[in-house]
């Protein structure tokens, strides 16, 4: 990387970019023609094209949300976004077949190495489509389907048609409509009955081009008595102009199934990250979101779980780090629809250098949800006087047997803790770094080891220069 590029990237390690070698690139801007062209290019069935078009019209007619960071939302220029860019003509299952420049990028991100060591399968998406995909043979033999979403639609059209958009319909919100209209890439996973996928499967999303929009669509169905751990990572180069990431993730956990979805979002500070994630848990099923938000300019993401079956459980652990110019508007939503359902939400956030972190949550108990229990804990740390922390929780209870708790606190780093560590020889900066790592520990301990180490490194990097 040149010195100039190095300066532009600053502390963000993944801010490098490669020359664009697109095989197909659509003109900027969105229209019905663009939507139909994406569908035609992918040779999709008629029902998908029609759903895309309906979603496009809904997106156009629906106003921007009038809550959250309205100023930042209004500054998104949808006409200056590239909605489809194909970098490679095929999805390969051998890294040697992936074009060199793209392969180098993923090598620098450590994906092939991680795949060999501890993953059950990998999808690597570059711009709009997956460029690499593989799954361990033993999982394939057990009937596990792990494909990029485009291949999933081609190879299992009936299964996709049955579940696509059932958890998050296109009319759910403006950005789910946008995603449904122009989606490309993402993961499609089906785990058959009674299969436990022991090693996590991973998807890695990389935006490389300027003013790029990435709209991956993920659909995960885990059948009765099965389990899956899915890990997602994402980065982008640092540009002076903005990019848009608007994904939709739908999880379906059938009776007695378990899904854990772990994300560490580390987009560069020029990316708008407006994501809709929701899971449905049937009888005695468990859906867990482990959600880390470190990067992006504006994140609006509230992983949700609909507890539809009796005895279902939801777990959401989320952390957010908001540095200079960043607004992390994150949270969690849980809908208790069935009796004896339970949920735990733990949210931790740090604001520094004028950053803003907001927790926005919803806990809803329907009249039929007898005996449900839920606990929500939100803790916020503010590291300087220029930063801001908000909490916007909502509890709606329509059943008299529900037992719900919510607690939140906002504070600065304790002087006693700092003093204790500094009196044992740590510099103030090191001491703050340790305290921040400890603050996030309930989150990092839920991550696979490699991710946890990476996250701690990232946080140390973000904490550099935080004193004085």
Partner 1 sequence: MSYSKMVIPNRSNHEWRYTPWEKIHPSKVETVPAIKSARVQLNGKQIEAQSVRDYDSNAEISRMFLQETNNSMHSITIDESQDCNFVEIESDESQVVCHVHITVESSTALQIIFKGNCNWFGIHITSDIKANSNLIVGILNDLSKECKLLRCEDWNIHRDSHLTYGELSIGGGYAKSDIRTTLSGSNAGLIQSIAVITEEKRHDDHHIEILHKSGHTNSSLTVNSSCSDRGHAIGTGLLMIEENCDGTDAGQVFKNLLLSDRARAESLPELEVLSDDVSAAHGAASSPIDENQLHYLMARGFTPKHAKSLIVEGFLVSSFSKISDDNVRLFLLDSLNKHLNQNLED
Q: How many residues does the chain have?
A: 468
The tokens for 42 are 């992918």
CA 349 to chain centre: 16
Pairwise CA distance, residues 204 & 107, whole Å: 12
CA distance 91 to 76: 31
Task: Give 324 or 405: the residue with its C-beta nearer to partner 1.
Answer: 405
φ/ψ (deg, to 5) at 293: -120, 105
The two tokens of residue 134 are: 């593989």
The total of other beta-carbon atoms located within 10 Å of residue 232's CB is: 23
Q: At closest approach, how far in Å is the CB of 365 from partner 1?
A: 8
Shortest CB 377 distance to partner 1, Å: 10
CB of 339 to partner 1, least distance (A): 12
CB of 430 to partner 1, least distance (A): 20
Other CB atoms within 10 A of residue 388 CB: 15
Close Cβ partners of 328 (under 8 Å, ≥ 6 residues apart): 293, 296, 299, 320, 321, 322, 349, 355, 356, 357, 358
Q: Of 66 and 79, which CB lies nearer to partner 1 in the complex structure?
A: 66
CB 120 within 8 A of CB 201: yes
**Could you tell me the CA-to-CA distances from 291 to 303, 388, 435 in Å, in that order?**
8, 21, 20
CB of 408 to partner 1, least distance (A): 5
The token duo for 94 is 């051998």
CB 171 within 8 A of CB 180: no
In terms of CB distance, is 102 or 402 closer to partner 1?
402
Q: Which is nearer to partner 1, 243 or 387 (CB)?
A: 387
Q: Which is nearer to partner 1, 247 or 362 (CB)?
A: 362
Least distance in Å: CB of 373 to partner 1? 9
Instruction: Report, in Å, the least distance between residue 382 CB and partner 1.
Output: 4
Compute CA distances 419 → 11, 76, 394, whole Å.
28, 44, 37
CA 429, CA 443: separation in Å to the nearest integer?
A: 22
Among the listed residues 230, 290, 228, the one whose alpha carbon sits nearest the alpha carbon of residue 447:
290
- Cα–Cα distance between 77 and 93 in angstroms, integer? 36
Nearer to partner 1, 415 or 425 (CB): 415
Q: Which is nearer to partner 1, 53 or 410 (CB)?
A: 410
Residue among 2 and 400 whose Cβ is closer to partner 1: 400
Nearer to partner 1, 257 or 397 (CB): 397
Task: Give the separation between CA 132 and CA 148, rounded to whole angstroms.
Answer: 9
Residue 170 CB, shortest distance to partner 1, in Å, is: 20
* Least Cβ distance, residue 6 to partner 1 (angstroms): 32
232: nearest Cα among 258, 200, 256 = 200
CA gap 359, 348 in Å, rounded? 9
- Tokens 């060591």 correspond to what residue? 117
CB 226 within 8 A of CB 196: yes
Shortest CB 65 distance to partner 1, Å: 7
Q: Cβ closer to partner 1: 303 or 361?
A: 361
Q: How far is residue 369's CA from residue 416's CA, in Å, rounded to a whole number? A: 44
Output the smallest distance, CB 177 to partner 1, in A.
17
Q: Do the beta carbons of residue 444 and residue 459 sit within 8 Å?
A: no
**Closer CB to partner 1, 25 or 388, in the complex:** 388
In the complex, minimum distance from the CB of residue 172 to partner 1, in angstroms, rounded to a whole number: 15
Roughly how many angstroms between the first and final C-alpha of the chain, as a whole number? Answer: 30
In the complex, which residues of this chain contact partner 1 (CB under 8 A)? 65-67, 365, 367, 380, 382-385, 387-412
Q: Which is nearer to partner 1, 78 or 392 (by Cβ)?
A: 392
318 three-state secondary structure: strand
Count CB atoms within 10 A of the CB of residue 404. 16
């Amino acid at each position: 990387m040149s010195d100039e590029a190095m300066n532009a990237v600053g502390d963000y390690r993944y801010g490098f970019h490669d020359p664009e070698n697109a095989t197909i690139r659509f003109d900027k801007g969105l229209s019905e023609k663009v939507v139909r062209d994406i569908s035609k290019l992918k040779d999709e069935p008629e029902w998908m094209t029609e759903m895309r078009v309906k979603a496009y019209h809904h997106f156009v007619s629906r106003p921007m949300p009038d809550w959250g960071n309205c100023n930042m939302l209004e500054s998104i220029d949808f006409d200056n976004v590239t909605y489809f860019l194909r970098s490679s003509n095929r999805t390969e299952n051998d890294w040697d077949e992936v074009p060199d420049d793209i392969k180098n990028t993923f090598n620098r991100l450590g994906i092939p190495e991680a795949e060999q060591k501890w993953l059950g399968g990998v999808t690597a998406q570059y711009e709009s489509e997956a460029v690499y995909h593989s799954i361990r043979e033993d999982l394939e033999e057990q009937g596990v389907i792990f494909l990029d979403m485009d291949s999933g639609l081609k190879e299992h059209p009936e299964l996709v048609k049955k579940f696509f958009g059932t958890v998050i319909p296109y009319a759910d919100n403006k950005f789910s409509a946008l995603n449904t209209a122009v989606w490309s890439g993402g993961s499609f996973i089906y785990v058959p009955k009674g299969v436990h996928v022991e090693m996590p499967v991973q998807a890695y999303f990389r935006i490389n081009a300027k003013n790029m929009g990435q709209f991956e669509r993920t659909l995960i169905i885990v059948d009765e008595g099965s389990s899956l751990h899915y890990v997602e990572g994402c980065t982008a180069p640092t540009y002076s102009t903005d990019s848009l990431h608007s994904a939709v993730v739908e999880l379906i956990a059938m009776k007695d199934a378990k899904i854990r979805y772990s994300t560490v979002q580390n987009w560069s500070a020029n990316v708008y990250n407006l994501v809709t994630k929701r899971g449905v848990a049937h009888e005695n099923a468990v859906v867990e979101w482990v959600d880390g938000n470190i990067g992006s300019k504006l994140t609006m993401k509230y992983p949700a779980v609909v507890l539809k079956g009796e005895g279902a459980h939801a777990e959401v652990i989320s952390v957010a780090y908001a540095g200079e110019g960043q607004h992390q508007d994150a949270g969690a939503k849980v809908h208790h629809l069935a009796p004896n359902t339970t949920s735990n939400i733990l949210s931790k956030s740090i604001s520094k250098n004028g950053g803003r972190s907001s927790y926005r949550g919803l806990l809803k108990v329907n009249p039929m949800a007898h005996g449900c229990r839920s606990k929500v804990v939100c803790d916020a740390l503010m590291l300087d006087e220029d930063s801001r922390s908000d909490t916007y929780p909502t509890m709606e209870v329509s059943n008299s047997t529900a037992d719900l708790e919510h607690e939140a606190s906002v504070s600065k780093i304790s002087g006693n803790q700092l003093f204790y560590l500094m009196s044992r020889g740590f510099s103030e900066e090191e001491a703050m770094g340790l305290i921040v790592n400890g603050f996030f520990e309930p989150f990092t301990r839920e991550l696979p080891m490699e991710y946890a180490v990476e996250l701690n490194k990232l946080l140390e990097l973000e904490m550099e220069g935080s004193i004085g």
